[in-house]
Amino acid sequence: MTTIPTVFVTTSWFKRLVGLSDEEAQSGDGSPVVADRIGFDGSLEDAEVIGRSPQSYIAAGESVSSFVGKQITSKLAEYGLEEIEPDEWYPLEIPLAMLYDMRDEYGGVRMRNMGQNVPEHVEFPPELSEVDEALASIDAAYHQNHRGSEIGSYEFETEGPNEGVMICENPYPCEFDKGLIKGVAKKFANNPVTVEEVGDQCRSDGDQHCEYHVEWI
């Protein structure tokens, strides 16, 4: 029997995100809102994510611990995403809300660990073999798995034989992106990888983007 994906947003979830009273929440349009929790100011009204992405977040959480995997699954279900089909499209705000809740409740270290484990649960093109090529491919993979008019980007520039800079201008938690970048680099590097935030902006401070220096020693 084919499983029909169920996506719905409850009033209690909407209230929880925006901090409204019962009457105020009921006066809204019922849409999930995460804009006040991110620095990125692009509109997410039409933003969607393909099902294999939140599935990879669950798998990445389970790689951290079974507890984390269960928490991710529980939160997605609580927010309305109870059945996930890998090739179906879902509102991006739902997994984003889950990730920001996980960050707020369990800290940035756990969020980085989740991001770092995601590359272990996704397929990379077989022609990729170098770290800089893999890092540069993150943006293309992002746009294959996300759609919408203002979903942002990952821009990587090589600065030397074993280093480069990634600019993340998207709605994901910066701690998640930092882990994701390290995880992708480690998958293709034979040596230790360091990822350090540089520049004068950070999305966790309400800015538009984060910038990371990546080095595979």
The 3 state secondary structure assigned to 144-200 is HHEECCCCCEEEEEEEECCEEEEEEECCCCHHHHHHHHHHHHHHHCCCCEEEEEECC
Q: What is the pLDDT of residue 34?
A: 81
List, for residues 112-164, the tens digit of each pLDDT value: 999 999 999 998 888 999 999 999 999 999 999 999 999 999 999 999 999 99
Domain ranges of the chain: 11-119, 124-216
Mean pLDDT of the chain, nearest integer: 85
How far is it, in rounded angstroms, from Cα 150 to Cα 62?
30
Count Cβ atoms below 10 Å from residue 155 Cβ, excluding itself.
15
pTM, two decimals, is 0.84
* Fold that domain 124-216 belongs to in CATH: H-NOX domain (3.90.1520)
List, for residues 64-76, the tens digit of each pLDDT value: 999 999 999 999 9
Cα distances (Å, whole numbers) of residue 24 to 14, 16, 34, 54, 193 = 10, 12, 17, 30, 48
Question: Is residue 27 over pLDDT 60?
Answer: no
DSSP 210: E
